[in-house]
Structure 1
Amino acid sequence: MKDLVIVGAGGHAREVHQSILAINRVSPTWNFLGFIDDFARSTEVAGCPVLGGMAWLRGKTCHMVVAIGSPAVRRRVVNELLLQESAEFATLIHPSAQVGNSVILEPGCMVSAGAILTADVKIGRHVIVNTGAVVSHDCQIADFCTIAPMSCLCGAVRLGEGAELGASVTIIPGVSLGKWSMAGAGTTVIRDVPDNETVVGGTNRVINKQNAGWHEKV
């Protein structure tokens, strides 16, 4: 079994811990050591130890997964970890997820329970595909995206780096969501969304426009 830590100790981290337990029930794969979090309020999460902050990882040789929901924060933490020569990221797929043979998953991805990834899908680094989400044929998902529970990406959808989908978002075929943009919960995305915009509702009303590079200041 391979040593593994979860970076983060919040809600998504606990969900990822459940995925690890499910994976090990099917085939013992991961020796889970504990959680890493500079701001943890407890020494224990989900009955497992909080090992310490990022400093704990210095000089350690273990796999890690960054289980932080915010794409911008996840990117920052990953970049800090990459400064360590020993950084090795795991890809975790819940046993109940359905992942097609032609799906490509880059390191650091987390695919949750009940998710479906069909055919010729490309998932970038450190992407979260959450519970019950569907990613259909020929979708291209860039690094650090977050796809919330029950979202549905129809064929040939493209998500730019750091794009975030709220719960139960639907994106119609061939539509793109730009870099560091967001679709609010329940939105049906019917048109291409530029970088750094937040849209909501069936008309894709723009409720926020961020300046380029905003994610680098989080």
Structure 2
Amino acid sequence: MEKPIIIFGAKGIAHPALEIFNSHDAVVYGFLDDDASLHQKEINNVAILGKLEDDGFLKLIGKKCEAFVAVDDPKYRESLVKLLNERRKVQPVNALHRLAYISTDAGIGHGNFINAKVTIGAGAEIGNHCILHTNATIEHQAKIGDFVQVGAGAVINSGVTIENGVFIGSGVTIVSGVKIGKNARIGAGSVVIADIEAKQTVFGNPAQVIDK
């Protein structure tokens, strides 16, 4: 990347995102985080500069710097993306690990975190601002919406449709052709063999709805 990157958030996926950008010889200008106790500290020699909405740093985005949002919470992540869209007229960049396999026929949106050994198959579609953890598999022609998080080692089989805001725990298997509704949550290790409605939370093998 030609411009340095400012990473929004200094916890969770922030450190591995820095590793990804370093592996591509991209310069990370610094981190922003609202936790004042982190300010002026460093992550792998890169400083945590100040708050997330600090105008002094925000004004750099789009002109002198790119942005990447490294916040795990989907609602907060979405609010920061909206801030960048509206105030700076930019989309966050992708953090794509060198050891990820992404088919040349796959479609990838903006602002995604795709860690090592992730596999994205032919004709698969990944939306915007998703988090795909280590060794997740997105098989051919699966469709992933925006702000989706897929845990380490999860397998999303061919033809699966996952709508916006879905959380998929580590080690989950979703069989071919299943549809997962908006903002659903799937517990770690579950095996999903049938469609899941929006906002449902499921767990188990086979996955069953958990009463709230």
Q: Same fold (TM over 0.5)?
A: yes
Give the Cα–Cα distance (whole angstroms) in 2 for the partners of residues 117 and 86 of structure 1: 29
Instruction: Please give the per-residue CA displacement for 1:120-173, whole angstroms capped at 9, x wherever unaligned.
Output: 011111111111100000011001101111111000111110101111111000
SS at match of 2:75: helix
Q: Please state if 1:127 is matched with 2:130.
A: yes
Cα separation, partners in 2 of 1:40 and 1:87, compared to 1, 3 Å: farther
**Shift in Å, 1:40:** 4.8
Of the three residues 78, 84, 88, the one matched with 1:81 is 84
Give 1:4's aligned residue.
Answer: 5
CA RMSD of superposed structures (Å)? 1.5
Give 1:33's aligned residue.
Answer: 29
Give the Cα–Cα distance (whole angstroms) in 1 for the partners of residues 58 and 68 of structure 2: 15
Give the Cα–Cα distance (whole angstroms) in 2 for the partners of residues 148 and 41 of structure 1: 29
Give the Cα–Cα distance (whole angstroms) in 1 for the partners of residues 115 and 78 of structure 2: 19
Give the Cα–Cα distance (whole angstroms) in 2 for the partners of residues 162 and 68 of structure 1: 14
Give the Cα–Cα distance (whole angstroms) in 2 for the partners of residues 108 and 199 of structure 1: 27
**Shift in Å, 1:31:** 1.6
1:144-159 aligned at under 5 Å gives the runs 144-159=147-162
Query: 1:17 is matched by which residue type in structure 2?
Result: L
Over the matched positions of the two proteins, sequence identity in percent amounts to 28
Structure 1: tracts of 5 or more residues without a match: 25-29, 210-218
Q: In the comparison of the two structures, how many residue pairs are matched?
A: 204
SS at match of 2:4: strand
SS at match of 1:57: helix
**Shift in Å, 1:100:** 0.3
Give the Cα–Cα distance (whole angstroms) in 2 for the partners of residues 207 and 57 of structure 1: 43
Cα separation, partners in 2 of 1:4 and 1:208, compared to 1, 3 Å: farther
Cα separation, partners in 2 of 1:208 and 1:79, compared to 1, 3 Å: farther
Give the Cα–Cα distance (whole angstroms) in 1 for the partners of residues 173 and 37 of structure 2: 36
Give 1:17's aligned residue.
Answer: 18
Cα separation, partners in 2 of 1:117 and 1:195, compared to 1, 3 Å: same
Give 1:182's aligned residue.
Answer: 185
Give 1:98's aligned residue.
Answer: 101
Query: 2:49 is matched by which residue type in structure 1?
Result: L
Query: 1:58 is matched by which residue type in structure 2?
Result: L
- TM-score, reference length from structure 1: 0.88
- TM-score, reference length from structure 2: 0.91
Give the Cα–Cα distance (whole angstroms) in 2 for the partners of residues 208 and 82 of structure 1: 37
Contact 2:67-2:93 at 8 Å conserved across structures? yes
Give 2:115's aligned residue.
Answer: 112
Contact 1:9-1:45 at 8 Å conserved across structures? no
Give 1:65's aligned residue.
Answer: 68
Give 2:50's aligned residue.
Answer: 52
Give the Cα–Cα distance (whole angstroms) in 2 for the partners of residues 7 and 203 of structure 1: 38
Of the three residues 185, 201, 206, the one matched with 2:204 is 201
Moved more, 197-206 or 71-80: 71-80
Query: 1:122 is matched by which residue type in structure 2?
Result: E
SS at match of 2:24: helix
SS at match of 2:37: coil
